[in-house]
Chain A
Amino acid sequence: MSSCTKEFNNLNTNPSKVTKSQATGDLQYIGGFFPDMEENIFSTVDYIYQLQQSLNADVFSGYEMSPDDGFGPNNTNYFMVSGWNAQAFDLGNQHIMNNWAQIRNLARPQDQHFVAMALILKVEGMHRITDLYGPIPYSKYGSNAFFVPYDSQQAVYTRFFAELDTAVTTLTSYVKTYPGAKPFQPFDLIYGGDYKQWLKFANTLRLRLAMRIVYADPATAQLQAEKAVADPNGLLSAVGDDAYLNMVNGLSYQNPLWNITNAYGDISMSAAMKSIIEGYNDPREAAYFLPSAYDGKFEGIRQGQNITTAVYAGFSLLNVQSTTPLEIMAASESYFLRAEGALRGWNMGGGTAQSFYTQGVTLSFQEKGVAMPAGYLADATSTAAPYVDPTNATNNVPAGNPYLNNITIAWNPAATFEQNLQRIITQKWLAIYPDGEEAWCDFRRTGYPKLFPVVVNNSGGAISTTSFVKRIPFAADEDANNPKGVATGVTALGGPDNGGTRLWWDVNPLVP
């Protein structure tokens, strides 16, 4: 009988899938995993992007709000939808961690530059996950078991910095040894395989993560921030440094926000955005949003309502085309980070808080292709405008309301630390749009810019209306599939697994 069954192994090998041996050519068996990593920092798939961040961080950051009347109680009014909030977690594991693990396991000694690249992308992808949930499985990822323990967020951040150390060291030495070599080019959708750009990206990422933990571990924050700035490879600092997911190497996608805002009709401009950007007479408004079908003007929706009718269906949609590439990181962010560092008295490479702030705002206008109005940076009077909901006056936020973002644009060396921090973060908020995850981190960390509290709070007391949402609960499928793991996560979190528990780095005493 053995001769009859000798074909069984062949029969049972799926010809529609790729085996390791089939992918050896052109190093696809290592490099082939990178595009999937880069594509999933922000998912290119609309319905995944929607759950990954559009219906949580993009709303919690104050950028946007959903006009959809079919959702029932949901994240936007603090009813944390367990089915939605697993997406980001799974995406990170399946598309970031897994690809990194494949590359690490398959790399030969001469492939260490690939491992370095995988580490950078892993830190970039996974910090966005831990900043949503707090503790995550990180060091014990890939045990192939039904129980995977979680790491505390502090442990995860410690690992992030160490991994960036390894990556920067390896790539720096590779670039020195092989100047001009671009082995990563066939797999890179962001920087065309240019390791020098990736080193700038890694340094800027380090600076971002350092600033994140400034209230939890100020010493490490300063150490890492200064290390990032001091690295000879530099930071992202010009329009050409912006990290976009480019349609190269065969990648073709539609910007997911285009479908989410247009076809789904599930995301629109928020009230807070309208209040701040119109208060500043900021022309970036037209670059970010479209005039509403409701009244031809820009109209934003107040966060945290029970929307049961289609009244907001015509409010301002996002101004995004299907061909608009996804922005991974804006170079202007590095200036705002340095401005904050300088404000804190750190050595940010020979500039002042004001000079970095000015550079950041100027670069942001360039990045968005919008001409900065004359006198914009000197405007010492404009602050956020009162908000009027044309369909429902109970949502209005009138002049004098403490939730209006009461900061002007013009730098004022005489202003308090907090005022200037608010100024930096507000402009950073406008510059890094639409990266709601980063903006929500800043809001939780600093309390800026000031946003409007929810009108309706369906959290059942778990989330304070005046303190705002602090995290999203652990993934519901983890409760079912890894209950012991979640238990270690809850312990590491140090509070109940709901949207009101603050993360490890979220300890600024001035933030309610």
Chain B
Amino acid sequence: MALLAPVGTIAQPEAATPMYYPDTTLTMNVVKKPLENVLASLGKKTGLDIHYDRNEFNTEKLVSINCKNLPVKEVLAEITDQTGLHFELFKNKIIVSGGNVAPQRDIQKVQGTVKDSTGMPLIGVSVSIKGTTQGTQTDINGQFSLDATAGNVLVFTYIGYVTQEVTVGSGATINVVLKTDSHSLQEVVVTALGITKSAASLSYDQQTVSGKELEVAPDPSFVNSLDGKVSGLQITQSSSGAGGSTKVVLRGNKSIFGSSNVLYVVDGIPLNPLTSSQPNGVFSYGADGGDGISNINPDDIESISVLKGASASALYGSAAANGVILITTKKGKAGKTVVTFNSNTTFDKAVLLPKLQSEYGRGDNGVTNPGSINSYGAAESPGTPNLNPASFFNTGVSAINSFTLSTGTEKNQTYISYGNTHTDGIEPGNVFNRNNITVRNTSKSLNDKLTIDLSANYIFQNTNDRPTSGTYFNPLTSIYLFPRGTDFSPYKNYESLDPVRNIYLPNWITPYTNSGSGGDDPQNPYWIQYKNPTTQGLNRLLATVLAKYDITSWLNIQGRVKVDKADQTSSQELYAGTTELLAGPTGGYNYSSSGQNQVYGDLLLNVNKDLSGDFNINGTLGVSIQDNQNSSLGFGGHLGNIDNYFNVGNVILTSGNPFNQTNKTEAQTQSAFASVDFGYKKYLYLDVTGRNDWASPLAFTNSYSFFYPSVGLSDVLSSMFKMPDFISFSKLRVSYTDVGNSIPAFVSTPAQYTLSSGFLNLALTQPLETLKPEITHSFEIGTEWRFDHDHITFDATYYHTNSYNQLFDVATSTASGGYASQYVNGGNVKNEGFEGSLGYNGNISSDFHWTSNFTFSLNRNKVLALYTDNSSGTPNVITEFTFPNTVNAYQLEAVVGKPFGEIYANDFLRDASGKIVVSGGLPQLINNANQDVDVGNSNPNFMLGWTNSFRFKRFDLAFTIDGRFGGEVVDMTQAYLDAYGTSQASATARDQGGVLVNGTRIDAQTYYSVVGGRSGALAQYAYSATNIRLREASLGYTIPGSAFNNKIQNIRIAFSGRNLFFFYLKAPYDPETTLATDNTLQGIDLFGQPSTRALGFSVSAKF
């Protein structure tokens, strides 16, 4: 910068405002006036002193300014454009410098093409002149053109690519090749708390997925789109339709009593998981209510990073022990206003329906009996109608429509979006509707030192008749068990007017219509859908305020507050005529509402400084507070005198299995933490973190404070040593992390009593004041390599975790004090595994580009110890823990020496020689839950994923194949169908004259009455969960803006499909769906909604 020598200073004695305010604006209209005059006029209007050296530039250059209320900075930028002069604002001074360049610089047209490293033109690259608001974007051919002067710096920015700056020289053409930034050494990644770090410094495995990759075949819950794309990520969807919960586990299950689900973090702040109650048994009154992550609008997502290990725990706290999915949402961008419109429509078809027989009609023991509920009757005569279960399912239609708008200046950017997801499910009456509104504003002020980021998301969604599992309120039970050889058509009209009661009552086959029929009391499936309707509503507001102030170039302070307020309602209306097992004679009504509020606040001090030539330090010091308040209010019971009037005033709150209750919990965690990276020569990094939590659920225990540290080392070998040319990058990393985890609220609170109908009752779990937080030790070592100019990438990680002091709710003898259980700390669950990926990214020909990524992960899980009870003098080693919500014939257990999540099931009673014991003509079963047999594990041994995307001219094609190997599931649905005789298996058995037991045939109905059903030999219904499928595929075509006279930038049209077909599958249902996403009903199907194949098309337009 030139100094102020013999200067022409335009002083402004009359200036009223001595200080420069960044928002000072100016109105001016001059045409071709000498520069010096214009500057004088500007100084007069703003009260600013303008300093310059007349020798440095041509003060007589003619400039034109026409502006109204434009900030001074922008007016100066305009002058820069016309003169090439630089202006610096300093307090109340403007310092003008022109450098030693020629005073006159002419504006010239600069044009060129932007391509990626593979030679493909990049469309929509933002090209701007540094320090100005001027800019443009590349067109469909990757070309741009704009006016600039020599010496201007052009900035090329494009999502997913490294920003590049090119100084305009004398030439008029500038061609640029942008490098993809996911593989760049200079790559900056968003890590915990939104802190950006150099990728090279990460000592743990972090994998990034761009928003684009999620769009291949969108799912209403975006997290389902991650399947197969990230190594080590195990996704299990609940069989509850659109908007349902998803179980997402990284590197294996760790927590026995708590959750092993990943933590979602949106823009640096943990998202309230909003876990909902899960189906919990054979009868299962409750459907899944969705989870917090399913509420997010996928179109708001810019990118996703997956932190697989526990390394982010120091910054996010305990919940990060299971890994983190970091979601970065879109912001407004400086430059041209961009409007996009995306529309995606998919059609869902039920697949993997059970195979039903059409040979034998209604009856028992081969004899027709119109009063039977079974299908073990005589052989059907030709032409007998048989219900095809597929006829019950509709083609589901899912429409995801979204609109986004991004606009802004260098100082202020705004992003607005609206998204609507509407799904008509495959079960009639199932409708899911979600609306997302997002507004975000990012602005800079105080000389660009202060950044304010405000965002608000409002979500409102409604779900009608969310598919459930179990036998009650589940239309599938009625469809699958409907007697074969019986005409279903009279029951499609599910109700008719009862002249005596003067209300509509269900049409249904006898004897189901008689209450007290025994069996499983299936109702008319349409009656269930339309006259036992459930509705779930959600209103959720997330609001965030962030303020960041740059104290110096290497030190900033940042504060954030986020409020997440979710109100949910759930109601079930049971019309009169509903089976009396489930409702009163005039009907029934269940209603609950709940509020889940989370307030999060933090304050961070960030340092990023080069200490000397070789050393740098990047650190964060912070404090945070998180407060969760949950409350609920619910009531339910049979209706009073008024038929079908669903109101609390008409509910008999003491009838049926009534409930009326309020619940309230609050938990608060206060934390202080520090994270410091020491870098040496930009290739060796040491990362040390520490966090201390003070958690309110630990009140009444010895201490509510606990500390957990981590340490990591990262070494970029390719920068440290000279490597052969074909190795473009190589890195080695190792890290060790401890994570503590508090206990749930109230478990340590001294004895309290529940109130039931106004009477005191004992709480069923004994409070203990000796509890401690859980602790997980994890270690990982990994390496990353890139070859051939980053065209080939490879990474691999080995990890090992041990989780100790796990909290168990252990059943005790009820005689030990009336409690059914007590909490203990104990256990050691080990997970170790290996995961890796191999990728290719390059050109096949100049028009043909191919990206391919192969992921592999293997997890070995073992329960090493549960707990030892020393209360009775001699140590009592407990080696088995049964998860709650076991159902007849099935239980999920943690057993010492076995992997977590072992499935135990009822089986045949066998004699010493292994023969099935037959007594009275019946095969005998064990029928003792304590002696159930181990049929396998609910988790896979290893998983593979392979994603591919091809670009040929304007066509793009992408697909994902993934596979899970190992693990078992049991199918209780099949057991039911066999017991009722509707399954093909039961007909085949009859065709063969019975089922072979010890070499003798036993009559099929006799056999299946014992072996099938809800309490039969479920072990006989165990299947391998191994499956390989074409997860998703899409074919797209981009129409250039030129086809529309450049009125719009482009339009992409695509056809896509999800869950297209299985290359391999042994189980009769989709083993990657689950009844519940908690640790309970894993690896079992019980009339869950079948998996669906989705085919769809999408249109996205960018303006």
Segment among B71-79, B454-462, B516-524, B1042-1050 that sits at the interface with chain A: B516-524
B365 CB to nearest chain A CB (Å): 8
- Contact partner of A309 among B364, B663, B917, B925, CB < 8 A? B364
Q: Are B820 and A18 in contact (CB under 8 A)?
A: no
B369 CB to nearest chain A CB (Å): 7
Instruction: Provide the residues of chain A in CB contact with B924, threshold 8 Å.
Output: 73, 458, 460
Segment among B257-265, B402-410, B640-648, B755-763 that sits at the interface with chain A: B755-763
Instruction: Provide the residues of chain B in CB contact with A68, threshold 8 Å.
Output: 518-519
Q: Are B872 and A145 in contact (CB under 8 A)?
A: yes
Assembly CA distance A173 to B764 (angstroms): 36
Instruction: Provide the residues of chain A in CB contact with B664, threshold 8 Å.
Output: 14-16
Counting CB contacts under 8 A, is B749 at the interface?
yes
Q: Are A69 and B518 in contact (CB under 8 A)?
A: yes
Counting CB contacts under 8 A, is B16 at the interface?
no
Q: Are B580 and A97 in contact (CB under 8 A)?
A: no
- Contact partner of B665 among A14, A90, A262, CB < 8 A? A14
Assembly CA distance A101 to B262 (angstroms): 44
Q: Which of chain A's residues has its CB closest to B692's CB?
A: A1
Counting CB contacts under 8 A, is B1005 at the interface?
yes
- How many residues of chain B are within 8 Å of chain A by beta carbon? 96
- Contact partner of B515 among A8, A253, A262, CB < 8 A? A262
* Given A83-B929, A481-B813: A28 in contact with B760 (beta carbons within 8 A): yes
Counting CB contacts under 8 A, is A507 at the interface?
no
Assembly CA distance A259 to B580 (angstroms): 8
Assembly CA distance A476 to B518 (angstroms): 26
Counting CB contacts under 8 A, is A4 at the interface?
yes
Interface string of A1-33 (1 = CB under 8 A from B): 100110111011111111110010000100011
Q: Are A310 and B751 in contact (CB under 8 A)?
A: no
Q: Which of chain A's residues has its CB closest to B746's CB?
A: A14
Q: Are B816 and A142 in contact (CB under 8 A)?
A: yes
Q: Which of chain A's residues has its CB closest to B756's CB?
A: A36
Interface string of B704-730 (1 = CB under 8 A from A): 110000000000000000000000000
Q: Are B516 and A262 in contact (CB under 8 A)?
A: yes
Determine the interface band of chain A, counting residues with CB < 8 A from chain B: 35 or more
Q: Are B919 and A16 in contact (CB under 8 A)?
A: no
Instruction: Provide the residues of chain B in CB contact with A9, threshold 8 Å.
Output: 699-700
- Contact partner of B820 among A94, A137, A145, A317, CB < 8 A? A94
- Contact partner of A93 among B761, B815, B880, B882, CB < 8 A? B815
* Given A73-B927, A137-B815, A310-B372: A8 in contact with B518 (beta carbons within 8 A): no
Counting CB contacts under 8 A, is A111 at the interface?
no
* Given A93-B815, A460-B919, A482-B813: A310 in contact with B511 (beta carbons within 8 A): yes
Residue with the highest number of chain A CB atoms closer than 10 Å, among B750, B815, B930: B815
Counting CB contacts under 8 A, is B13 at the interface?
no
Assembly CA distance A311 to B517 (angstroms): 9
Assembly CA distance A146 to B810 (angstroms): 10
Counting CB contacts under 8 A, is A293 at the interface?
yes
Q: Which of chain B's residues has its CB closest to A312's CB?
A: B518
- Contact partner of B1013 among A18, A72, A254, CB < 8 A? A72
- Contact partner of A99 among B520, B668, B762, B1015, CB < 8 A? B762
A325 CB to nearest chain B CB (Å): 14
Instruction: Provide the residues of chain A in CB contact with B704, threshold 8 Å.
Output: 5, 8
Q: Are A263 and B581 in contact (CB under 8 A)?
A: yes
A404 CB to nearest chain B CB (Å): 25
A492 CB to nearest chain B CB (Å): 14
Instruction: Provide the residues of chain A in CB contact with B956, threshold 8 Å.
Output: none
Interface string of B336-375 (1 = CB under 8 A from A): 0000000000000000000000000000100001011110
Q: Are A481 and B811 in contact (CB under 8 A)?
A: yes
Q: Are A479 and B813 in contact (CB under 8 A)?
A: no
Q: Are A98 and B654 in contact (CB under 8 A)?
A: no
* Given A18-B755, A70-B519, A254-B655: A94 in contact with B748 (beta carbons within 8 A): no
Q: Which of chain B's residues has its CB closest to A71's CB?
A: B1015
- Contact partner of A23 among B760, B817, B1015, CB < 8 A? B760
Assembly CA distance A3 to B535 (angstroms): 44
Assembly CA distance A322 to B655 (angstroms): 9
Which parts of A123-177 form the interface with B (CB within 8 Å)?
136-137, 140-148
Assembly CA distance A457 to B667 (angstroms): 55
Counting CB contacts under 8 A, is B181 at the interface?
no
> Is the contact region of chain B dominated by helix, strand, or loop, or is it mixed?
loop
Assembly CA distance A308 to B192 (angstroms): 60
Interface string of B578-592 (1 = CB under 8 A from A): 011100000000000
Q: Are B762 and A102 in contact (CB under 8 A)?
A: yes
- Contact partner of A310 among B518, B705, B820, CB < 8 A? B518
Interface string of A262-292 (1 = CB under 8 A from B): 1111100000000000000000000000000
A97 CB to nearest chain B CB (Å): 6
Q: Are A11 and B668 in contact (CB under 8 A)?
A: yes
Counting CB contacts under 8 A, is B169 at the interface?
no
Assembly CA distance A401 to B511 (angstroms): 35
Q: Are B667 and A144 in contact (CB under 8 A)?
A: no
Counting CB contacts under 8 A, is A82 at the interface?
yes
Q: Are B364 and A4 in contact (CB under 8 A)?
A: no
- Contact partner of A11 among B511, B667, B753, B920, CB < 8 A? B667
Q: Are A263 and B869 in contact (CB under 8 A)?
A: no
Q: Are A308 and B754 in contact (CB under 8 A)?
A: no
Counting CB contacts under 8 A, is B1009 at the interface?
yes
Instruction: Provide the residues of chain A in CB contact with B665, threshold 8 Å.
Output: 14
Q: Are A148 and B816 in contact (CB under 8 A)?
A: yes
Q: Are B670 and A308 in contact (CB under 8 A)?
A: no
Instruction: Provide the residues of chain B in CB contact with A14, threshold 8 Å.
Output: 664-665, 745-746, 749, 752
Q: Which of chain B's residues has its CB closest to A138's CB?
A: B815
Counting CB contacts under 8 A, is A393 at the interface?
no
Counting CB contacts under 8 A, is A350 at the interface?
no
Residue with the highest number of chain B CB atoms closer than 10 Å, among A47, A98, A261: A98
Instruction: Provide the residues of chain A in CB contact with B927, threshold 8 Å.
Output: 73, 79, 81-82
Instruction: Provide the residues of chain B in CB contact with A82, threshold 8 Å.
Output: 927-930
- Contact partner of B670 among A1, A20, A94, A143, CB < 8 A? A1
Instruction: Provide the residues of chain B in CB contact with A17, threshold 8 Å.
Output: 752-755, 763
Interface string of B764-778 (1 = CB under 8 A from A): 101000000000000
Q: Which of chain A's residues has its CB closest to B519's CB?
A: A70
Instruction: Provide the residues of chain A in CB contact with B937, threshold 8 Å.
Output: none
Assembly CA distance A93 to B813 (angstroms): 9
Instruction: Provide the residues of chain B in CB contact with A468, threshold 8 Å.
Output: none
Assembly CA distance A91 to B245 (angstroms): 35
Counting CB contacts under 8 A, is A39 at the interface?
yes
Interface string of A52-82 (1 = CB under 8 A from B): 0000000000000001111111000001011
Counting CB contacts under 8 A, is A35 at the interface?
yes
Counting CB contacts under 8 A, is A456 at the interface?
yes
Instruction: Provide the residues of chain A in CB contact with B666, threshold 8 Å.
Output: 11
Q: Are B928 and A12 in contact (CB under 8 A)?
A: no
Counting CB contacts under 8 A, is B662 at the interface?
yes
Q: Are A98 and B517 in contact (CB under 8 A)?
A: no
B902 CB to nearest chain A CB (Å): 15
Q: Which of chain A's residues has its CB closest to B1012's CB?
A: A72
A106 CB to nearest chain B CB (Å): 11
Counting CB contacts under 8 A, is A109 at the interface?
no
Assembly CA distance A14 to B664 (angstroms): 7
A299 CB to nearest chain B CB (Å): 13
A231 CB to nearest chain B CB (Å): 31
Can you list the 7 inter-chain pairs with the closest CB atoms, starting with the nearest?
A265-B516, A98-B818, A482-B813, A137-B815, A32-B760, A17-B752, A93-B814
- List residues of A whose CB falls within 8 A of some B CB: 1, 4-5, 7-9, 11-20, 23, 28, 32-33, 35-36, 39, 45-47, 67-73, 79, 81-83, 89-90, 93-94, 97-99, 101-102, 136-137, 140-148, 250-254, 259, 261-266, 293, 306, 308-311, 313-314, 317, 322, 456-458, 460, 476-482, 484-485
Q: What are 10 A-B pairs at a CB distance below 8 A?
A: A5-B696, A12-B699, A12-B748, A33-B760, A36-B762, A69-B519, A142-B818, A144-B817, A146-B872, A250-B758
Query: Given known contacts A45-B657, A73-B922, what 9 new A-B pairs fall within 8 Å (CB)?
Result: A14-B749, A17-B754, A18-B753, A36-B759, A79-B927, A90-B814, A146-B813, A252-B654, A477-B814
